[in-house]
Amino acid sequence: MQKIPKIKDFKAPDNYFDSLPDNIMDRITPHSSINWMKYAAAAAVLVVCLGVWQFNTFNSQVEDFSMDEEVSLYIESQFWTAEDVLSMVDNPEEILDQIIAEEMIYEVEYIDETDQNWY
């Protein structure tokens, strides 16, 4: 133990602790980056809300079709054939009778009564 050199006691400079709080406060800079982060977070929330609103508006436009209109669109786009539609219903004879009755109305309107060759 005698070989270890002796260490002198550490002493603070005179009046060091009197001016220490002022020195610390002078070195601290205020955090100005928090202000722009608030605005960025608000803008992000606004963009997400507008996206959700736009997506829901787009989905509601698709659902506005009635069943008849939707079936007509499938048939007109040739996704379904008339046989496909008739195979989906419980009573295809009823639908065929309804179609024939509707066509007969149009045929009666266009018949020229002065024509002798109408059947």
Angstrom distance (rounded) from CA 95 to CA 74: 17
Copy the structure tokens of residue 63: 């659902």
Break the chain into its structural domains and give their ranges.
Answer: 65-111
- Among 51, 52, 48, residue whose Cα is nearest residue 40: 48
Listing DSSP states for the chain in one string gives -TTSPPPPPP-PPTTHHHHHHHHHHHH-----HHHHHHHHHHHHHHHHHHHHHHHHHHHHHHTT--HHHHHHHHHHTTSS-HHHHHHHSS-HHHHHHHHHHHHHHHHHHT--TT-TT--
- Among 83, 106, 108, residue whose Cα is nearest residue 96: 83
Task: Note the pLDDT of residue 45.
Answer: 94
Task: Note the pLDDT of residue 43.
Answer: 92
Model confidence pLDDT, tens digit, residues 62-117: 556 777 787 778 878 888 787 787 787 788 788 788 878 877 766 555 556 666 66
Q: Judge contact between 85 and 75, C-beta under 8 A.
A: yes
pTM here? 0.27
